[in-house]
Structure 1
Amino acid sequence: MNLLQTLVAFVIALGTLIVFHELGHYLVARWCGVKVLRFSVGMGRVVWSRRFGPDQTEWAISALPLGGYVKMLDGREQDVTHLPEAELRREFTRQNVWKRIAIVAAGPIANFLLAIVLFAGLYMHGIEEPATRLAQPAPGTPAQLAGLKRDDVVTAVNGVRVAGWSELRWQLVRAAVDAKEGGDARIEVRRPSRGTFTFTLPAAALTALDLDGDVPASLGLAIALPPPVLGKVDPGGAGARAGLRTGDAIVALDGAPVQDVGAFTQAVRAAPGKAIALDVVRAGQPLRLTITPEPARADDPRKGSVTVGKIKVELLGRPDMIVVADGPARATVKAARRVWDSSVLTVRMIGRMLTGDVSWKNVTGPITIADYAGQSSRIGLASYLSFLAVVSISLGVMNLLPIPVLDGGHLLYYSLEVLTGRPVPERFGEIAQRLGVGLLVTLMALAVFNDVARLM
């Protein structure tokens, strides 16, 4: 069932982004007076089509779903010598260079506009998310060494205000990218009954982060959670063998009070194969049990594969939640700023990859995107729409890269035409086109390799 939901979520996301991208090209081409012959969702052989409109434009679905295109009347691709003068005036290459630039740029711009609309809608509707109140940082983590403590409420990162956990994570990712240039991260917190403080996370800790992983957790930042109360207890797990039951409240571990779910989880994970004394309250009565977590392998964001303890019980309790909502004007401005920041961050990440400062493992492909589509759809509609906006931004940025065969490559040609006053030589364009195809195939192969490596 999860696989089916993932596939459906991926197809809907991909189809939506392709349609909006190509609609950008189509609408501006029509506005500029260029005749559009075909609007295709997908590449390769046409499997379904219908003709509509005064120009009888063919609207088609093609066999290969990874992409789409708008086919215009273009003398480079069709024989136009037999057409009347009225039709020739609507041929793409006969338009002035600024119209051609507008038509090509319209696709990526449509992706950015879609992301702004989605983010603005989410910000106006309001998003329930965990507050920025922190759990006690684990010993030795950058957050603990910086002086952050349990119940600190993060209010800003590098001077940018944060209202919820997703905003905090986003600003930490930005800070990690900025750290490549030697910048520390200033974390402003409000400490209950003691006022506001500023702490510093050093650049060295930020540059070591895996930006594709859980950035806050790698720094030692976690959401403050309530004391642990047990939900479902797996009959075959260490918890059931120790006598734990649904509804038990864990109050102490080896005589030390348990602050919250996170602290209890960390203590269990740190004790594989070791006996632990648990103080439990069951139906209002205190009870002491002894439990031995089972050893299991797990991935640690800082240490790689490690052995941890597991007891196979469900821990109940929600963190403090807030609803972040804005009016239409503020939501739109906030959405536009988010799209701009995300675009700049993507470009900077690409630059870091080219210089070797960031691993090429961060290049992801359709398998990872499909996985994220499925995960976000299972969380809820707001999460899925946010995912859709993020991917739309990435699609817009990638299409603006100056690679032949992409929109950015064509924009580069037309920019040179503006500067020199004459079109790029046809022979040069053919060679660049072949190189662009080769580069795209290489990047796609790398993305698929990284996807498979993550799965394994």
Structure 2
Amino acid sequence: MSNLLGSIWWLAVTLGLLVTFHEFGHYWVARRFGVTVLRFSIGFGKPLWTRIGKDGTEYCISAIPLGGYVKFLDSREVEVSPAERAGDFTAKPIWQRMLVVAAGPAFNLLFTVFALWAMFVIGKPDYQPVIGRADNLAATAGFVAGDRIDAIAGETVTNWTDTNLVLLGHALDRQDVQVRVTDAQGRPAQRSLALSKIAADKDEFGAMREIGLTPKFLIPSEFFVGQIGEGSAAAAAGVRTGDKLVAVDGQPIRSWDGFVEMVQAAAGKPLALDILRDGKAQQIALTPRQETENGKTVWRIGIGYKPAEAPFDALLRYGPLAAVPAALRETGNLTSKTLEMIGRMFSGKASLQNISGPITIAAVANDSAQRGVAWFCYFLALISLSLCIMNLLPIPILDGGHLVYYLIESIKGSPLSEKALIAGQYAGLVLLAALMGLAFYNDIVHRLLS
């Protein structure tokens, strides 16, 4: 329940903040050009709260919190008297109307830079790009535990978030890459990762699994009892959830697979399990019980483990001045990668499952907020950038569609006909509804499979 409430709250914070900033961009530039603003709404549908400002604008918060809008005085919608003509949006020069429309996405881009600047100043904790285990293609390429990834295809990486982002792009393109690493002994080395061998039918998750790089922070060094089977040997012996597993018959537990092997090797003989409970060392005697699984005999004690969460071991931080160019560089980098991902979805290289809706955004917002202010700033930057790019798509009813209309008007010397505008609006609504439907479908599928 707490996760659900947290997700709803942080979704409201995210959308409220970013939609307000986007619509304020339209509002602010329109006012600079003398356009009369009739309404500034956060959300759609029935207004829940309204206030008339000194400037005559109606400010309101509406019932459906999935967007917002700014309503201008428009002679295409209402009759405009000669006295009001100066504030008529349609009477303004094309270049002014284009700037007003482009201001929303532009303000989202500015917000992205600001959020990344704040992230760098606060300091974003992360994990070092150190490998904990190498399988599949990575093992074939010679990667071993302890290798630290320094660069992929010439692009420097300093943490595991960047490593995943860069590696995923090349994996989707099935491009072989050279990876520069520093091994566990501090020696530089070059590895050739044959991403072209990833099967064509693999999606993003399948591709990353075929690569086979598991970060060190996901390889637990400590194990705690997470579940105990009812009526199991562990339950009968008095093992409790939260007990830290230390050793079996004096042999330290270094991995879960190793622990399982120790239990199997006992073949039903009594074991001495060393644990830590509330900081105190204890030894518990128990005997594995024989079970049959897929026609094979196995020995079980009935314990499921809960690995200790690895602490962050990398920090990305700059001073206030140095953070400015760093934020600009990161904005350019994320913009490039986002556009590349959109291109891959259009070309079929990336799955349309990457399109997420409010349910996934809410879950990620909550998770980012739990990680700290810097991580939440990074999340806000990503969503703000996505809103910027999405709104610039040439789809009628979106800002990008309006910019296309004005571009056509500037070329032909007159506005599009009302019939063409209405047809475009309907087409835009259908496309947007399809996009939102896909996003909700992906959200539901992800929730069911998670």
Q: TM-score range by the shorter chain?
A: 0.7 to 0.9
Query: Using the alignment, how far apart are the partners of 1:242 and 1:134 within structure 2?
Result: 39
Quote the Cα distance in structure 2 between the aligned partners of 1:88 and 1:230: 73
Give the equivalent residue in structure 1 for 2:222: 229
Answer whether contact 1:36 1:57 (CA < 8 A) is retained: yes
* Pick aligned residue for 2:264 from 268, 272, 275: 275
Rounded to whole Å, the distance in 2 between the matches of 1:266 and 1:107 is 53
Whether 1:75 and 2:67 are equivalent positions in the alignment is: no
Asked if structure 1 preserves the Cα contact closer than 8 Å seen for 2:131 and 2:213, the reply is: yes
Mapped partners of 2:120, 2:265: distance in 1: 46
Equivalent residues in 2 for 1:15-414 (5 A)? Answer: 15-53=16-54, 55-80=55-80, 82-84=81-83, 87-138=84-135, 141-177=136-172, 179=173, 183-193=175-185, 195-205=187-197, 210-211=203-204, 213=205, 219-225=211-217, 228-236=221-229, 240-241=234-235, 246-250=243-247, 264-265=255-256, 275=264, 311-316=303-308, 318=310, 321-414=313-406
Letter of the structure 2 residue corresponding to residue 230 of structure 1: F
**Partner SS state of residue 215, structure 2:** coil
Instruction: Verify the 8 A CA contact 2:118 2:377 in the aligned structure 1.
Output: no
Question: Residue 314 of structure 1 aligns to which amino acid in structure 2?
Answer: K
1:74, distance to aligned residue in structure 2 (A): 1.1
- CA root-mean-square deviation: 3.3
Change in 2 beyond 3 A, CA 1:242/1:56: same
Answer whether contact 1:232 1:314 (CA < 8 A) is retained. Answer: yes
Matched residue of 2:216: which SS?
coil
Q: Secondary structure at the match of 1:370?
A: helix
Q: For residues 68 and 305 of structure 2, what CA distance do their matches in structure 1 show?
A: 48
Shift of 1:426: 2.7
Letter aligned with residue 334 of structure 2: S
State the AA in 2 paired with 1:43. Answer: F
Distance in 2 separating the partners of 1:429 and 1:294: 70
- Counterpart AA for 2:106: I
Instruction: Report the CA distance between 1:46 and its aligned residue.
Output: 1.8
Cα displacement (A) at 1:241 = 4.4
- Deviations 1:127-186, CA, capped at 9 Å, x for gaps: 222111111213xx2211211101111111121211111121222233234x2xx52222
Q: Is the 8 A contact 1:229 1:315 kept in 2?
A: yes
1:90 Cα deviation after fit? 1.9
- Comparing 11-20 with 332-341, greater Cα deviation is found at 332-341
Matched residue type, 2:336:
V
Deviations 1:359-413 (A, max 9, x none): 2222221222122222222333332222222111111111110000000000111
Assess if the C-alpha contact under 8 Å between 1:293 and 1:311 holds in 2: no
More deviation in 93-102 or 229-238? 229-238
Between the aligned partners of 1:22 and 1:294, the Cα distance in structure 2 is 63
For residues 231 and 337 of structure 1, the distance between their equivalents in structure 2, rounded to whole angstroms, comes to 42
For the residues of structure 2 that align with 1:241 and 1:310, how far apart are their CA atoms?
8
Question: What TM-score results when the alignment is normalised by the length of structure 1?
Answer: 0.83
Q: Is the 8 A contact 1:184 1:201 kept in 2?
A: yes
Unaligned 5+ segments in structure 2 are 294-300
Deviations 1:113-137 (A, max 9, x none): 1111111111122122211111121
Secondary structure class of the residue paired with 2:67: strand
Give a deviation string over 1:181-226, Cα, whole Å, max 9, x none: x522222110133521121222335666543x49756532222257
Change over 3 Å in CA distance of 1:242–1:90 after alignment to 2: same
Offset, 1:419: 3.1
Identity of aligned residues (%): 35
Look up the SS of the partner of 2:102 in the other structure.
helix
Match of 2:414? 422
| Preserved CA contact (<8 Å) 2:124 2:375 | no
Q: What is the CA-CA distance between 1:443 and the residue it aligns to?
A: 1.4
The secondary structure found in structure 2 opposite 1:389 is: helix
Does the C-alpha gap of structure 1 residues 451 and 50 become closer, same or farther in structure 2, counting only changes over 3 Å?
Answer: same
SS at match of 2:318: coil
1:292-328 CA-partner distances (Å, limit 9, x unpaired): 79999xxxxxxxxxxxx98323333636702221233
1:441 equivalenced with 2:438 (yes/no): no
Query: Any conservation in 1 of the 2:113–2:328 contact (CA below 8 Å)?
Result: yes
Counterpart-to-counterpart distance in 2, 1:391 and 1:405: 20
Task: Note the residue ranges of structure 1 that are not aligned, 5 or more in a row.
Answer: 297-308
Note if contact 1:233-1:240 (Cα within 8 Å) is conserved in structure 2. Answer: no
Q: How much does 1:89 deviate?
A: 1.8
Alpha-carbon contact 1:155-1:161 (below 8 Å) kept: yes
Provide the C-alpha distance between the structure 2 equivalents of 1:196 and 1:118, rounded to a whole number of angstroms: 35
User: 1:5/1:428 Cα in 2 relative to 1: closer, same or farther (>3 Å)?
Assistant: same
1:312 is paired with a residue whose SS is strand
Distance in 1 (alpha carbons) for counterparts of 2:120 and 2:342: 28
Structure 2 distance, partners of 1:190, 1:279, is 40
The one-letter code of the counterpart of 1:432 is: G
The 3 A distance-change label for structure 1 pair 19 and 317 is closer
Q: Which residue identity does 2:156 align to in structure 1?
A: R
Residues 233 and 287, structure 2, Cα contact 8 Å, conserved in 1: no
How many residues matched?
Answer: 425
So what's the TM-score if we normalise by structure 2?
Answer: 0.84
